[in-house]
Structure 1
Amino acid sequence: MAAITPSTGVGYGLEISKIVDALVKSDTSAKSNQIARQSSNNSAILSGIGSLRSALTAFQDAMKKLNDKDAPSFNAFAGTSANESVVKIKTTNSAVAGTYDIRVSQLATGSKVASQQFAGGGTSAISEGELTISQNGKTYKVNVAAGSTLQSVRDQINKELSKEGITANVVNEAGGSRLVFGSTTTGKGSDISVGGIPELTIDGTQKMVGAGGGFIDALAQDAEFSVDGLKLTSSKNVVDNAVSGLSLELTGTTSPTATTGVKVSVTLDNDGLKKSVQSFVDAYNTLRKAVTALTTPTKDSSGNVTSLGPLTNDPTTRSLLSDIGKVIAEAGSGTQLNTLSQLGINTQKDGTLEFNSTKFTAALNDKKLGSEIQGLFTADGGVFDRMTKALDPYVKTGGSLDSRKTALDKVTKNLQDQQAALDRRTELLTTSLTKKYAALDTALGLMKKQGEQIVSIFDAMNAQAKKG
């Protein structure tokens, strides 16, 4: 509890509060100001480290988006389908510009088989034993314990085999329940057969008849389609090797009476490449500008420094800027295209990147470098790979930024401890000085009173003498 200092003494009338405050401030102000300055500086650096981490995270997210394997950027070609309910298309840099006529007569399907009917439904008892499920030359085993039911066997299969793409479910019909098996594996010859436990035995190549088991609608089948009249088959509905540089996803069938199939077009995508490159340049520049704002001192109109940035002269930040700058300047491993400058990307004096679209267009049209841009950015050892490795020592758990924050947090705790100690000293000193000056006030008050009494006595004596 803070000491209560009387404003004035009750004896002599000293201004005790003002005297004590002045003496306490004289004793503690230097230390108090030091703690305040250090705390303000430490808080600013902590805030700067947090802002730097946020900027780095945003840059990493931008690179991750541009490096998405499912929706690749930096692709020299763009593919379009006239009817995506029949076929979808993705292109790679090995594609060739042109158009293709795609017809799909059937999609690849997986095996769907069912056990015999169980009149007791899902709670029907299943014999103890080793259930075997065979597909494509592979056999999976499930140990069925005593007391198992149709439902518990279903649950056990899903728990143990779902990672293999095999699932089971209980389907209830009017005459009873069946254990139905399905698979994500498609293509001719991928039919499921079940054995090991008599009541669950299924020959997946035989059609289900009556209450017996077998395949439900049809055997597993390959996709059948044609490209410009050439008939092809595939065990999967995603076909990567039918046309060089194209990935076809078969999603439906074409009418057998149609005179033409679905038109698929592949064109050079210079605009898409330019947009992706610009996105990288923008993301990098946003990071550099954020770091510059954290490290640049504030100056007045005369050019005099009025305050430092929170990370001005910070060694971690200087090292970071150096490392990412090296990535931009380094050469990659491409055959014709191995530097960003070949695409019109150059570093400016302030560290940001300038993107010369005229030089970029020339690189695509005259030097035919479009097919190598993706590799320059996304290949192993490419810009994204090297940039990720450059950033990792700073952003990883326990990395430079974490260590920096930990050290700053310790400084914060130390300053808080110093302030607490100073507060205790201030309180004790205030109490001590207040007692001393209160005692002095009392003593001075007594002396004043005694002096007044003496003066009164002398005044009386003088008055008496005058009368005599």
Structure 2
Amino acid sequence: MAAITPSTGVGYGLEISKIVDALVKSDTSAKSNQIARQSSNNSAILSGIGSLRSALTAFQDAMKKLNDKDAPSFNAFAGTSANESVVKIKTTNSAVAGTYDIRVSQLATGSKVASQQFAGGGTSAISEGELTISQNGKTYKVNVAAGSTLQSVRDQINKELGKEGITANVVNEAGGSRLVFGSTTTGKGSDISVGGIPELTIDGTQKMVGAGGGFIDALAQDAEFSVDGLKLTSSKNVVDNAVSGLSLELTGTTSPTATTGVKVSVTLDNDGLKKSVQSFVDAYNTLRKAVTALTTPTKDSSGNVTSLGPLTNDPTTRSLLSDIGKVVAEAGSGTQLNTLSQLGINTQKDGTLEFNSTKFTAALNDKKLGSEIQGLFTADGGVFDRMTKALDPYVKTGGSLDSRKSALDKVTKNLQDQQAALDRRTELLTTSLTKKYAALDTALGLMKKQGEQIVSIFDAMNAQAKKG
């Protein structure tokens, strides 16, 4: 442990600590201030890059939501069902406004078959062999190993065929257990048959009788329904081709005694289109304002710059603003509708978008552009596609922002290393100067004592001379 030196010399009384501190600061302050300035600037830019990434992520999330294929925005039409427990409806831009009477006499069902009963339950032994499961002309094979049980065969089927939509389970009933097969495939003729292992053989076209195997309750069947009295069938309960521009999801059956079916309506959805377009404008403006705040200097009430934005004059950010600005200004590949300005969306001086609702309404009512809006935004080469491509060089892994952050992280590490080196120099210089000034204090102290002794001798001599 290093010896602790008093701040004031014990010899002559020099203020060693103050002297050393002043000399050390004189030697290191310029470098220390330089590191502090660079560290502060670097940290501000790093924070700015982080804020920029957050703003871009929020904008991308907003675009992803508006471009969701399962819940599409920008539909020119809206569909409503008077009874969604029988039929639900989705529309596309190829729909036609109107009403339809939907009746559902039966839903499409899948195959459900059961094996013979096993008195031993889930632990019943199953013979070794190749189990074959057939459905819709396809055959799947499961190799059953020696020592398998009803339960282990169930687990093996689920593991190997679950991705094909075929599952199995053990159902315990009075008299024994059965291996029950089910499938997500629906429609007439999709009945499951099982063979290859005698005790698990099932003819899926035969009804289960007594302890034997077969189908449970009924064969797989097609959905049967009508649209305005026209009868249709479907192997699935989601029907996309019955009415042009509509997707019908059959969820239940209508009463056979009902005088009317379920009324399904398709209407123009101008309000929905406006809401979706406004959502895009708002998301874009939020991004633009966030970036502007990062690049704009702060001024006081007199207009004097008090501080710069963390990304002021940053080339990457300037390039980003230019790229996204081009997307909202340039024309797309549409025929009747290919620019945002046709919908009343124009770029303002500060780079944000202005949405003119009057011009938008005129585009829908007078120019009949409603069915074109979805394509303008979501089609290949549309606004979202072009915006995604514009942002990708910045946000992708290894892209511009990743590269900037990596470079700034290296600067941070370098500045930390410089500070550590300066701290070591400060410590060594402080120790060295403290020792030197402590030695000087001691030497001066000795000289002071010697001087006092000489003065004392002369005083004694003078006193003696006066007595004589």
TM-score range with shorter-chain normalisation? over 0.9
Displacement of 1:152 in angstroms is: 1.2
1:399-441 Cα deviation digits (max 9, x unpaired): 2211111111111111111111111111111111111111111
Alpha-carbon distance in 2 for matches of 1:227, 1:213: 39
Displacement of 1:371 in angstroms is: 0.3
Alpha-carbon distance in 1 for matches of 2:263, 2:202: 43
Displacement of 1:75 in angstroms is: 0.5
CA gap 1:5/1:406 in 2 versus in 1, 3 angstroms = farther
1:38-76 Cα deviation digits (max 9, x unpaired): 111111111111111111111111111111111111000
Displacement of 1:226 in angstroms is: 0.9
Alpha-carbon distance in 2 for matches of 1:302, 1:376: 45
Alpha-carbon distance in 2 for matches of 1:175, 1:391: 65
Alpha-carbon distance in 2 for matches of 1:443, 1:218: 113
Alpha-carbon distance in 1 for matches of 2:133, 2:71: 36
Instruction: Name the SS for the 2:26 alignment partner.
Output: helix
Displacement of 1:3 in angstroms is: 8.1
Matching residue of 1:49: 49
Alpha-carbon distance in 2 for matches of 1:454, 1:181: 118
Alpha-carbon distance in 1 for matches of 2:345, 2:66: 17
Alpha-carbon distance in 1 for matches of 2:466, 2:145: 132
Alpha-carbon distance in 2 for matches of 1:305, 1:89: 58
2:36 matched to 1:33? no
Structure 2 alignment gaps of length 5 or more? none
More displaced stretch, 349-358 vs 444-453: 444-453
Displacement of 1:300 in angstroms is: 2.3
Matching residue of 1:337: 337
Aligned length: 468
1:316-368 Cα deviation digits (max 9, x unpaired): 11111111111112211111111111111111111111111111111111111
Matching residue of 2:389: 389
Displacement of 1:445 in angstroms is: 1.6
Alpha-carbon distance in 1 for matches of 2:3, 2:329: 65
1:231-252 Cα deviation digits (max 9, x unpaired): 1111110011111111000000
TM-score (norm 1): 0.97
Matching residue of 2:431: 431
Displacement of 1:304 in angstroms is: 2.4
Matching residue of 2:359: 359
CA gap 1:21/1:443 in 2 versus in 1, 3 angstroms = same
Retained in 2: the 8 A contact 1:2–1:427? no
Alpha-carbon distance in 1 for matches of 2:176, 2:102: 44
Alpha-carbon distance in 1 for matches of 2:337, 2:127: 66
2:234 matched to 1:229? no
1:262-313 Cα deviation digits (max 9, x unpaired): 1111110000000000000101111111111111111223322222111111
Matching residue of 2:70: 70
Instruction: Name the SS for the 1:266 alignment partner.
Output: strand
TM-score (norm 2): 0.97
Displacement of 1:5 in angstroms is: 4.7
Retained in 2: the 8 A contact 1:3–1:427? no
Displacement of 1:111 in angstroms is: 0.7
Retained in 2: the 8 A contact 1:3–1:430? no
Retained in 2: the 8 A contact 1:328–1:383? yes
Displacement of 1:467 in angstroms is: 3.8
Q: Which segments of structure 1 move beyond 4 Å, counting only runs of 4 or more?
A: 1-5
Q: Where does 1:167-178 land on structure 2 (aligned, <5 Å)?
A: 167-178=167-178
Alpha-carbon distance in 2 for matches of 1:204, 1:123: 24
Alpha-carbon distance in 2 for matches of 1:9, 1:128: 96
Matching residue of 1:246: 246
Displacement of 1:17 in angstroms is: 1.1
